[in-house]
Amino acid sequence: MAEEHLISYACIYGLTLATVMQVVGVTSASSREELEQLLSSCHVISLHCPLNERTRGLIGDSELALMRREAILINCSRGDVIDKEALVRTLLVCSW
């Protein structure tokens, strides 16, 4: 029922909704190749991991370069999981 209301609301305002979403992920047991495949193929990437020596800088220059230009990166982890300087460099190079 709530989905019908959302679709009706979206139609009134001329919005297009995606009704299918595939959720995929990697874990600490995943390979580097699995992470790279995820980064290069996903439209939305949400990070949920503890900050430790293994995850610090997990997303840096090479990982950001793999991502789609229109990808959305959400960091629900501690800040240093993403290399902030690499993120700034990427955003400056890919500016609209």
Average pLDDT over residues 29-57: 90
Per-residue pLDDT tens digits for 47-82? 989 999 989 999 999 999 999 998 999 999 988 999
Q: In 58-68, which positions are buried (b, 16+ CB within 10 angstroms) versus exposed (e)?
A: bbbeebbebbe
pLDDT confidence of residue 18: 53
Average pLDDT over residues 28-55: 89
Determine whether domain 22-93 maps to CATH 3.40.50.720. yes
Res. 96 pLDDT band, cuts 50 70 90:
low
pLDDT confidence of residue 6: 44
The token pair that represents 7 in the structure block: 């679709």
What Å distances lie between residue 49 and 27, 52, 64, 78, 95, CA to CA? Answer: 9, 9, 17, 8, 28
d(CA 84, CA 11): 39
Sequence spans of domains, the chain: 22-93
pLDDT confidence of residue 66: 95
pLDDT confidence of residue 68: 92
